[in-house]
Amino acid sequence: MIVTQTKPEFLTEALIEVLNNEWKVNAIESGRSLYHQLEIEVCRKYIKVWETLNRNGVNDTARSCWMFVDKKTGEVYKAASYKAPAKIVRYNLLNIASRDLCFANADWAGGYLYIR
């Protein structure tokens, strides 16, 4: 077995999988047909996380950049635009305490990425 994923890529995929499942279950339990879904795009320096709306099992064509993850260091950045991250690191997926905080506070609106 050959492992080609880096640790930040694996942890980002884990975060996305947990959030997608949670949001889908919450929508089904509350009787809504509209919910948010995240997808990953691995680029040269960053892992981009995109958000789309899912209506009745079909993803919309419109999407927004939700966050950036540095492929080498695992640092999580809020998106300044769809091309570039904000300058300040919000979390680090390789740091256990920071990762747990990131997973616990993550919401569909991305409010956990703002500095308080």
pLDDT in tens, 47-65: 999 999 888 878 888 888 8
2, part of any domain: no
What is the pLDDT confidence band of residue 34, given thresholds at 50, 70 and 90? confident
Whether the per-residue pLDDT at 14 is higher than 50: the answer is yes
Whether the per-residue pLDDT at 2 is higher than 60: the answer is no
1, part of any domain: no
The whole-number pLDDT of residue 106 equals 74
73, part of any domain: yes
83, part of any domain: yes
104, part of any domain: yes
43, part of any domain: yes
The CA–CA distances, whole Å, from 90 to 2, 3, 59, 60 equal: 32, 28, 28, 28
36, part of any domain: yes
* Cα atoms in the Cβ-side hemisphere of radius 13 Å centred on 107: 7
Whether the per-residue pLDDT at 84 is higher than 60: the answer is yes
Domain count, the chain: 1
116, part of any domain: no
Query: Which residue range is the domain that position 86 belongs to?
Result: 7-111
The whole-number pLDDT of residue 5 equals 80
